Structure 1
Amino acid sequence: MAYEVAAPKYVRLAQTIQGRIEDGTYPPGTRVPSENQLVQAFGMSRPTVVRALELLKRDGWLESRQGYGTIVRGRPEVVEQKDRRGREALERDESRASGRLVEVGEVPVPVRVASALGLPKRAKVLMRRFLVEADGEPVELVSSYFPAGLVEGTELESSEALSGSVREHMEARKKVRFDHVTERVSARLPGSGEAELLGLPDGVPVLSVLVIACDASGQALQVSDVLLPADRQELEDTYRLS
């Protein structure tokens, strides 16, 4: 049975404030209402209001100015696509990132990953699984897969968090060079272990971003399956028409 999952309250509030910026209700250069005023106006809790404002600041609609409060910047001139999950997966410093390494070990290669790596279906690969957290809550589960030939001579098999990014580590240890990334987005229901790590109730789907990182020849060096709870995501891209 098809169904829709409502966006979180803070996302809906951010969308409302963004709409008021676009229609001129909150003109660029002016202060947005205070947190107290927004709490009263929308009947939402202070944490919800704070998260909505932080989201708008992150995306470039608002900015904080010392002594002035939160100021409207207006629509960013160019809104680049935010969800560069591939770059984040490659460049995340496990030792500094908000989250934890939850699993490292040799596993049978998943079918989609085998195809991307050019491996037979029953091959074994190394998997590093990292749970990304924000404000103490799980927001993203990243399972990265590496062919055996690229694991030897690295610390990828270590159960300790890597210092520095996987990309830096592999380029230094294996003398490879990452050149480009392909991302394939699909939706599916998570496995029981995935749902438990992400704190998802039964029946809530995830967005799966399959990140294929290649060298200049097109050879895949690493494949990451980035799982995002579908009830907490909104994908948006703004681009110019020629």
Structure 2
Amino acid sequence: MAYEVAAPKYVRLAQTLQGRIEDGTYPPGSLVPSENQLVQAFGMSRPTVVRALDLLKRDGWLESRQGFGTIVRGRPEVVEQKDQRGREALERSEASTSGRLVDVAQVPVPPRVAAALGIPRRAKVLVRRLLVEEDGEPVELSSSYFPVGLAEGTSLADSAPLGEGLRAHLEARRKIRFDHVTERVSARRPSEEEAGLLALPPGEPVLSVFVVACDVSGQALQVVDVLLPADRQELEDTYRLG
């Protein structure tokens, strides 16, 4: 069964409005047309228009100002983070990463992954598990999960390491586009197998960086569970107080 990612109407409208911001039709600081004007101009329902505007506000293209309306902010600034485990897991080449592929198989979907991908709990997913090493020591276990249908027509089910990033491979083979990533960091006890692969002593916890990669509509395309030995990690951030 083919895996289709059809953009809803509100997403297509948001993309059109975004394009007009980028080409200068709606310059930064200007007012976007009112909801009524957009309904009439595009022949779409008010709820569709509202959802499109909300999507652009969420992503930083627009903002609401009381007494003024909806203002164009322009292209959002890209905030560079010190540690982007999700981006690294999506973009690194398996073939050039020090380590080895532990497993490539269809497996029953873990409950947390099923919820993120929006698939039934009895379904199966394709998993690629990569053990990353530094100086011969295991430092990370990265498990990437994909809907089985999405993997069709790709080399994701092959046991050989990919010479390109998982994101680049999917975007090229399936003509889809990754848009944003959500990362959730938590601590947990590893399974016996996970502890063995990471060479952890009994009872040693791991940090789990749970990465959900989505297209512009919010449809999850890939989930990655990155496990890191907790005693070798330190999280730090610096930000201003306003």
What TM-score range do you get, normalising by the shorter chain?
0.5 to 0.7
Shift of 1:241: 2.6
Contact 1:80 1:237 in 2 (8 A): no
Could you tell me how far apart the structure 2 residues matched to 1:82 and 1:200 are? 26
Could you tell me how far apart the structure 2 residues matched to 1:202 and 1:153 are? 41
Could you tell me how far apart the structure 2 residues matched to 1:199 and 1:82 are? 27
Structure 1: 5+ residue stretches without partners? 1-78
Q: Secondary structure at the match of 1:169?
A: helix
Could you tell me how far apart the structure 2 residues matched to 1:209 and 1:111 are? 16
Q: Secondary structure at the match of 2:113?
A: helix
1:127 aligned residue: 127
Number of aligned residue pairs: 164
Could you tell me how far apart the structure 2 residues matched to 1:80 and 1:189 are? 30
Contact 1:98 1:132 in 2 (8 A): yes
1:82 aligned residue: 82
Shift of 1:186: 1.1
Establish whether residue 111 from structure 1 lines up as the match of residue 111 from structure 2: yes
Shift of 1:80: 5.3
Deviation string for 1:98-152 (max 9, x for gaps)?
A: 1111110000111110000001111100000001111111101000000011110
TM-score (norm 1): 0.66
2:210 aligned residue: 210
Could you tell me how far apart the structure 2 residues matched to 1:83 and 1:188 are? 20
Runs of 4+ in structure 1 off by over 3 angstroms are none
Could you tell me how far apart the structure 2 residues matched to 1:197 and 1:83 are? 23
1:92 aligned residue: 92
Could you tell me how far apart the structure 1 residues matched to 2:92 and 2:131 are? 12
1:159 aligned residue: 159
Shift of 1:225: 0.4
Amino acid at match of 1:108: P
1:200 aligned residue: 200
Establish whether residue 233 from structure 1 lines up as the match of residue 223 from structure 2: no
Q: Secondary structure at the match of 1:178?
A: coil
Could you tell me how far apart the structure 2 residues matched to 1:170 and 1:103 are? 19
Could you tell me how far apart the structure 1 residues matched to 2:92 and 2:107 are? 22
| Identity over aligned pairs, percent | 73
Could you tell me how far apart the structure 2 residues matched to 1:81 and 1:235 are? 11
CA RMSD between the two structures: 1.2
Amino acid at match of 1:145: Y
